Amino acid sequence: MKILIVGATGTIGKAVATALSSQHEVISAGFSDGDVKVDLGSKASIEAMFKSVGQVDAVISTAGLAGFAPFNELDDAAYDLALSNKLMGQVNLVRLGRNHVSDGGSFTLTAGILSRNPMPGSVVISMANGALESFARSAALELDRGHRVNTVSPVFVKETMEMMGMDSSTGLSAADTAKAYIAAVEGGMTGQTLDAPDYA
């Protein structure tokens, strides 16, 4: 399969690209690096990316910006970023990508465990994650040409925890997290949320 990975230069995306590249042709997309550059916050940029990449069999997103902040400190910009980038950026990959994905192809988006297991400071991330899961569940009912759409829900990634100076013993490695993305692309499910620990 020819697979476009948006966010392929990131912690999870790199592991997904590595895992897929032995069996598939991977095209990497990132904000500042990759085979193609894209800004998820811009529909024009997403459209330009699909035009330059051409037809693919699967689109994976391991991108999406949203910030941690206490509820009392969340300003309009914090909500806007989560909604326009993490949520609508990934939704727009499906809306704009449909004509560039072959029959039977798939979209795999990234949500996260904070939708169902929130913590103080996670409001806008949890909100975007929950909306992404609901988007995939409902859009799956209407996508045509055999297209599938799923979300992967990662837990805290070990490498991320280490980068943040945290104890990473409760985390899941990026390589193990990547296994859920492989399952979503190579499997037949649609409308599902794949909890990363279930595939590790």
Q: By the criterion CB under 6 A, which residues form the site for ligand NAP?
A: 6-13, 30-33, 38-41, 62-65, 85-86, 110, 112, 154, 156-157, 160
Q: C-beta of 145: minimal distance to ligand NAP in Å?
A: 25
Question: What does the DSSP assignment read for 113-152?
Answer: GGGTS--TT-HHHHHHHHHHHHHHHHHTTT--TT-EEEEE
Residue with smaller CB distance to ligand NAP, 105 or 171: 171
Residue with smaller CB distance to ligand NAP, 106 or 153: 153
Q: C-beta of 57: minimal distance to ligand NAP in Å?
A: 21
Question: Which residue's CB comes closest to ligand NAP?
Answer: 10
Q: C-beta of 121: minimal distance to ligand NAP in Å?
A: 13
The helix/strand/coil state of 175 is helix
Residue with smaller CB distance to ligand NAP, 33 or 186: 33
Neighbour order of strands in the sheet with 56-61 = 36-37, 25-30, 2-6, 56-61, 101-110, 148-153, 193-195
Residue with smaller CB distance to ligand NAP, 25 or 162: 162
CA 98, CA 55: separation in Å to the nearest integer? 10
- The answer to whether 173 touches 154, Cβ cutoff 8 Å, is no
Closest alpha carbon to 129 in 116, 148, 142: 116
Residue with smaller CB distance to ligand NAP, 11 or 102: 11
Q: C-beta of 98: minimal distance to ligand NAP in Å?
A: 19
Residue with smaller CB distance to ligand NAP, 62 or 106: 62
Q: C-beta of 104: minimal distance to ligand NAP in Å?
A: 26
Q: C-beta of 166: minimal distance to ligand NAP in Å?
A: 10
57 CB-near residues (< 8 Å, 6+ apart): 1, 2, 3, 101, 102, 104, 105, 106
Report H helices in 54-122.
Answer: 76-81, 88-97
